Chains A and B, each alone.
Chain A
Amino acid sequence: MAQNQLDWRTEDNSTGKPPLSLDNVHVGYATRRGKVQAVRGVTVDLRAGESLALIGESGSGKSTLGLAIVRLLPETAQVSPGVIIYRRDEREVDVLKLTPNEMREFRWSDCAMVFQAALNAFNPVLTVWNQTFDTAKAHGWHDKRAVLARLVELLQFVQLDPKRVIDAYPHELSGGMRQRVLLALSLLLNPQVLILDEPTTALDIITQRTIIKLLRQLKEDQHFTMIFISHDLAIAAELADRVATMYAGRIVELGTSDDIFYRPRHPYTLGLIRAVPTVSGGFEQLFSIPGSPPDLINLPSGCKFHERCSFATDRCIQEEPELETVGLNHTAACWNWRAVEEELKLNPLHRGALNVLDPSIILAEAA
């Protein structure tokens, strides 16, 4: 397979300040029943060149947080208190204070978002080319030839045949092709940060693998800074440098991918990992987490997970824990994280591997 390089991307962002800093971000929705507390005080730095995965179940606040960063939440949502700072080169902006025009620019040129439902993200009556050129024009880029050249380059990068795709309407493309076109389009104006909401959900397995390979290339060769939002732990395991577990609107654990998957200290993270089977791991006993995610209008007292937690003690019912250091670059919000540590000494998480594929038939190593 041809190795397509995005040679237009020369920026070195491996050092320097974090491109994105979230400080105590809250998001609430006013409803008739009361206020939905979708995100409750998230503080995290997105480091230059890293990929961060936000994992958690539906209602954990991960998608809301992603939408808050690019300010695409519905009007009923309130982002306050909280500060979102974005940095690029010497520039530093407070995202929540941008005007609508500045925001439009920000969404394409600084921080692009790729959505889950790839069909809904397109205008159904525009071809891929028209959609692309409209976007370019809206951002003051009127040089048709240059836009076309860039689109061709991007389509080749996502391994699509430009001839087949450029004049196609969205409905003429398969789900996997649409997702790749969307990824190409999101790179059009050279953003620094990509936010991908469920980038492979609803795609077929082999197509998922194609997308994962592309995203790995963006990460490893182009050093894009990325946020993955997914309920699928496999996306985090495949692509993330760091993983943040979210529950009831908060980050409850944050650490390197290895720490989260093999040395989790929050019972919820541990519960998620023990609930998910693998194909090439040995046969494992799986466990589900009892109960269901809490009502975001009437949150439980203390730690919001205590009703479902087998480690819960009286303190958990009274006081909500803050993130505390549990290891190098590893934080968790749990009063009983040492008990989780002990439990993992007895029942470690390494699964061992089945010999899924006969080595004699392997044609190529993983990219």
Chain B
Amino acid sequence: MAPIIELRNLTKRFGKGKETVTAVDAVSFAIEPGETVCLVGESGCGKSTTGRMVAGLLDPTAGEVLFEGKSISKLDSTAFRRYRQSVQIIHQDPYSSLNPTQTIREIITAPLLRHNKVKKRGDAEGRALALLEVVDLTPARDIIDKYPHQLSGGQRQRVAVARALTVDPKFIVADEAVSMVDVSIRVSILTMLARLKQEFDVTFLFITHDLALAKYFAWEGRITVMYLGRVVEDGPTQRLITDARHPYTQALLSAVPEADPELAHHKRQIELRGAEIPSLLALPPGCTFHPRCPYFVPGQCDVAAPPLEPVAEGGRVACPVRKLEHISLLV
């Protein structure tokens, strides 16, 4: 069976001439049905741009997105509509992604009617109520006639999920979907998303800057790490967290503040050679991490961009130096 989503050399450039930035640079990976993949990285690494291209909200400059084995740029209009319904996106900010002048009823029933998801107009309300129950907005009757401003951030994000579910998606891009939600409520939203995975066979691409959340949400899945538009490492979550290979992944893991005093005080730190992320307008040659990397090898890292190569324990890593070191440690 073909992967549900596959990215092939997906590239996005913004701007013109000297002002061109390559936000996403030849990103390739595939997501199998039922898998959970987290895309992590710092701001500006291209994770959201990638997510928007997967959802069809942004056209790539080069490369392609394949949905169930077919390039979305080559779909006819019927197949394209089916793809657009099958792949939904949930945005970070539930305060701006819901129309403030519409009630929850209007927000949920509009796509149901527009895409003929209900047989009769009168069925739309019942379906809307059922969807609100699915996202744990109960009792749904108390919610359906409210406006977004009458709901809390967490409740709004649940409405956004219910809206995405109206068109029976197979794949959901969740872009920082819980970042703006209060700590105490985050977990319940993640649990709800995990349940959708089971009950509705939805596959998730979960985009976050928070490695601890990625670890929690994709413990049985995979993590892909991006840096300045490129994938530097990916692999099964448990391998990536306990045995990160790319120096950037290691730096991120060692830098994450820990909500546990013992972990916080005993965690070892990787000292980088430079603190600042280079500008996308003036990317360093070769491996773009080399000006900050503690393993920098002059004449190698600053010459050619290292390709992603498979790791025996699972996944890929774009760092020939660290790979060599692993070999030398084994000998």
Q: Is there an interface contact between B257 and A276, defined as CB atoms closer than 8 Å?
A: no
Q: Shortest distance in angstroms between B90's beta carbon and chain A's nearest beta carbon? A: 18
Q: Is there an interface contact between A58 and B212, defined as CB atoms closer than 8 Å?
A: no
Q: Is there an interface contact between A364 and B270, defined as CB atoms closer than 8 Å?
A: yes
CB of A292 within 8 Å of the partner chain: yes
Q: Is there an interface contact between B277 and A366, defined as CB atoms closer than 8 Å?
A: no
Q: Is there an interface contact between B182 and A58, defined as CB atoms closer than 8 Å?
A: yes
* Bound form: Cα–Cα A135–B243 in Å: 49
Chain B residues positioned under 8 Å from A287 (CB to CB):
187
Q: Is there an interface contact between B219 and A283, defined as CB atoms closer than 8 Å?
A: yes
Q: Is there an interface contact between B257 and A275, defined as CB atoms closer than 8 Å?
A: no
* Bound form: Cα–Cα A288–B185 in Å: 5
Question: Residue-by-residue, is B149-185 near A (CB-CB < 8 Å gives 1, otherwise 0)?
Answer: 0001011000000000000000000000000001111
Q: Is there an interface contact between A288 and B242, defined as CB atoms closer than 8 Å?
A: no
B184, B216, B252, B272: the one contacting A277 at CB < 8 Å is: B216
A57, A275, A356, A358: the one contacting B241 at CB < 8 Å is: A356
Q: Is there an interface contact between A289 and B255, defined as CB atoms closer than 8 Å?
A: no
* Bound form: Cα–Cα A276–B255 in Å: 17
Chain A residues positioned under 8 Å from B269 (CB to CB):
209, 364-367
CB of B211 within 8 Å of the partner chain: yes
With A237-B264, A288-B191, A366-B267: A209-B255 Cβ-Cβ less than 8 Å: yes
Residue of chain B at shortest CB distance from A361: B250
With A205-B255, A279-B212: A358-B263 Cβ-Cβ less than 8 Å: no
**Which of A100-108, A227-235, A310-318, A337-345 is found at the contact surface with chain B?**
A227-235
CB of B259 within 8 Å of the partner chain: yes
CB of A363 within 8 Å of the partner chain: yes
Q: Is there an interface contact between A279 and B188, defined as CB atoms closer than 8 Å?
A: no
Q: Is there an interface contact between A293 and B267, defined as CB atoms closer than 8 Å?
A: no
Q: Is there an interface contact between B185 and A278, defined as CB atoms closer than 8 Å?
A: no
Q: Is there an interface contact between A279 and B260, defined as CB atoms closer than 8 Å?
A: no
Q: Is there an interface contact between B211 and A207, defined as CB atoms closer than 8 Å?
A: no
CB of B18 within 8 Å of the partner chain: no
Q: Is there an interface contact between A231 and B183, defined as CB atoms closer than 8 Å?
A: yes
A271, A288, A362: the one contacting B268 at CB < 8 Å is: A362
**Chain A 203-230 residues near chain B, CB threshold 8 A:** 204-210, 212
**Chain A 122-166 residues near chain B, CB threshold 8 A:** 159
Chain A residues positioned under 8 Å from B261 (CB to CB):
237-238, 257-258, 261-262
CB of A347 within 8 Å of the partner chain: no
Q: Is there an interface contact between A238 and B255, defined as CB atoms closer than 8 Å?
A: no
Chain A residues positioned under 8 Å from B105 (CB to CB):
none
B42, B189, B258: the one contacting A279 at CB < 8 Å is: B258
* Bound form: Cα–Cα A239–B262 in Å: 12
Q: Is there an interface contact between A200 and B294, defined as CB atoms closer than 8 Å?
A: no
With A233-B183, A237-B257, A365-B269: A280-B263 Cβ-Cβ less than 8 Å: yes
With A277-B213, A278-B258: A205-B42 Cβ-Cβ less than 8 Å: yes
**Chain A 252-292 residues near chain B, CB threshold 8 A:** 257-258, 261-262, 271-273, 275-281, 283, 286-290, 292
CB of A1 within 8 Å of the partner chain: yes
Question: Residue-by-residue, is A237-249 near B (CB-CB < 8 Å gives 1, otherwise 0)?
Answer: 1100000000000
Q: Is there an interface contact between A275 and B183, defined as CB atoms closer than 8 Å?
A: yes
Chain A residues positioned under 8 Å from B325 (CB to CB):
361
Q: Shortest distance in angstroms between B322's beta carbon and chain A's nearest beta carbon? A: 8
CB of A328 within 8 Å of the partner chain: no
Q: Is there an interface contact between B255 and A366, defined as CB atoms closer than 8 Å?
A: no
Q: Is there an interface contact between A288 and B255, defined as CB atoms closer than 8 Å?
A: no
* Bound form: Cα–Cα A276–B182 in Å: 11
Q: Shortest distance in angstroms between B192's beta carbon and chain A's nearest beta carbon? A: 10
* Bound form: Cα–Cα A286–B250 in Å: 25
Chain A residues positioned under 8 Å from B255 (CB to CB):
205-206, 208-209
With A280-B253, A363-B294: A205-B211 Cβ-Cβ less than 8 Å: yes
In this complex, which of B42, B183, B242 has the most chain A Cβ atoms within 10 angstroms of its Cβ? Answer: B183
CB of B276 within 8 Å of the partner chain: yes
**Chain A 312-367 residues near chain B, CB threshold 8 A:** 350-351, 353-367
* Bound form: Cα–Cα A173–B113 in Å: 48
CB of B329 within 8 Å of the partner chain: yes
* Bound form: Cα–Cα A207–B43 in Å: 11
* Bound form: Cα–Cα A275–B154 in Å: 14
Q: Is there an interface contact between B275 and A210, defined as CB atoms closer than 8 Å?
A: yes
Q: Is there an interface contact between B260 and A278, defined as CB atoms closer than 8 Å?
A: yes
CB of B197 within 8 Å of the partner chain: no
With A354-B241, A357-B268: A288-B259 Cβ-Cβ less than 8 Å: no
* Bound form: Cα–Cα A360–B244 in Å: 12
Q: Is there an interface contact between A288 and B184, defined as CB atoms closer than 8 Å?
A: yes
Q: Is there an interface contact between B271 and A1, defined as CB atoms closer than 8 Å?
A: yes
Q: Shortest distance in angstroms between B178's beta carbon and chain A's nearest beta carbon? A: 10
Q: Is there an interface contact between A238 and B329, defined as CB atoms closer than 8 Å?
A: no
Chain A residues positioned under 8 Å from B42 (CB to CB):
204-206
CB of A78 within 8 Å of the partner chain: no
CB of A80 within 8 Å of the partner chain: no
Residue of chain A at shortest CB distance from B269: A366
CB of A4 within 8 Å of the partner chain: no
Besides the known contacts A280-B263, A287-B187, A366-B267, 17 further A-B residue pairs in the complex with CB atoms under 8 A apart: A205-B252, A206-B251, A208-B255, A233-B259, A234-B256, A237-B257, A237-B260, A238-B258, A258-B261, A272-B184, A275-B183, A276-B212, A278-B259, A281-B258, A292-B185, A357-B250, A362-B268
User: 10 A-B pairs, CB-CB below 8 angstroms?
Assistant: A159-B275, A206-B255, A231-B183, A237-B258, A273-B259, A278-B258, A279-B253, A292-B185, A353-B266, A366-B269
| Chain B contact residues, CB within 8 Å of chain A | 42-43, 152, 154-155, 182-191, 209, 211-213, 215-216, 219, 241-244, 250-272, 275-277, 294, 325, 329
Q: Which 4 A-B pairs have CB atoms at the shortest separation, nearest pair first?
A: A234-B257, A288-B188, A209-B255, A289-B184
